[in-house]
Amino acid sequence: MSDLPEHLSIWGELADVDHELRHVEVGGVRTRVLRAGAGPDLVLLHGTGGHLEAYARDIAGLAADFRVTAYDMVGHGWSELPDHPYTIDVLSDHLLGLLDALGIERAHLSGESLGGWVAAWTAAHHPARVARLVLNTPGNIANKAEVMRRLRESTLAAVRDPSDATVRRRVEFLFHHKEMVTDELVNLRRAVYSRPGFLRAIDNTLVLQDPEVRRAYAWDPGWVGRITATTLLLWTDHDPTGGLDEARLLLGWLPDARLHVIEDAGHWPQWEKPGEFLRAHRDFLLLEKDPT
């Protein structure tokens, strides 16, 4: 029907695709996982303070060609919230533990924002586990103090006061077209941010926005240059966390990378431009031969 909106709801996006939502024990951490499709393994990683619904508009399309796994990282979404800092090595170890728990020897990784950072770190330090790599608006490659401050303050404000107004502002930060932010998406975030213990969990996540802590994991050609996986940089023209100058930095550091820019989108192209997001993944992951 022509009068139906393009996006009905998260459930509407998944209504016609067979999928499984369950919790998996990963190193003692109860971890929420959604899986769909068949084919080469593709794991999707969300950003800071996020959850697997960040990919709701993409899972059905990706499941046509891949066995898709989306999950809530440790300390995020409806996964468990152990009380210790969620530094990049901790988040990477949790990802590797999930691969082991699901019997995945090697997978494509596609990570957005913090998820891109975790995916890149994993590819650099555990190359045998990563087939191809998509870094989707990975954010603040230049480690700018102002970007760190803004992300920390906006996220803390929303978790301390998970009202509609403050959480909506946090979600709108991710979008170029802010009118696309739905009540459903805001209320999901409000539910996550209202979980018992989540304020402590977000403190444990935001240690990465402390320059002293960040220094050990900061984007740097020393470790980025060790990534052997062929890499797609998926950027946008309205990303509030980093411009195309930062994409060019990564292109210079990565041994085998190419850039695709999605126009008219912000930090979440997977939601604002799902068609182009899907095409970019298919073209990169399926149509080009993997040299290994």
Nearest-angstrom CA–CA distance, 276 and 129:
27
The CATH class, in words, for 10-141+219-285 is alpha beta
Q: What is the pTM of this model?
A: 0.96
Check pLDDT > 50 for residue 291. Answer: no
pLDDT score, position 139 = 85
Residue with tokens 């060019």: 248
What pLDDT was estimated at residue 168? 97
pLDDT digits (tens, 9 = 90+) for 235-247: 999 999 989 999 9
**Residue 114 pLDDT > 50:** yes
Q: State how far the Cα of 207 lies from the Cα of 281, in Å rounded to an integer.
A: 31
| Per-residue pLDDT reduced to its tens digit, 121-157 | 999 999 999 999 999 999 889 899 999 999 999 999 9
* Pairing assessment for the beta strands 107-112 and 130-136 based on DSSP bridges: parallel
Which residues does the annotation mark as catalytic? Answer: 113, 239, 267
**pLDDT value at 287 more than 90:** no
SS3 labels along the chain: CCCCCCCCCHHHHHCCCCEEEEEEEECCEEEEEEEECCCCEEEEECCCCCCHHHHCCCHHHHHCCCEEEEECCCCCCCCCCCCCCCCHHHHHHHHHHHHHHCCCCCEEEEEECHHHHHHHHHHHHCHHHEEEEEEECCCCCCCCHHHHHHHHHHHHHHHHCCCHHHHHHHHHCCCCCHHHCCHHHHHHHHHHHCCCCHHHHHHHHHHHHCHHHHCCCCCCHHHHCCCCCCEEEEEECCCCCCCHHHHHHHHHHCCCEEEEEECCCCCCHHHHCHHHHHHHHHHHHCCCCCCC
The more confident residue out of 144 and 109 is: 109
- Contact predicate 231/135, CB 8 Å: yes
Rounded CA-CA distance 100/106 in Å is 10
Which residues have C-beta within 8 Å of that of residue 31, sequence separation ≥ 6?
23, 24, 25, 71, 72, 74, 79, 80, 94, 98, 101
Instruction: Decide: 241 and 143 in contact? Cβ < 8 Å.
Output: no
Confidence of residue 289 (pLDDT cuts 50, 70, 90): low
Q: Residue ranges per domain, the chain?
A: 10-141+219-285
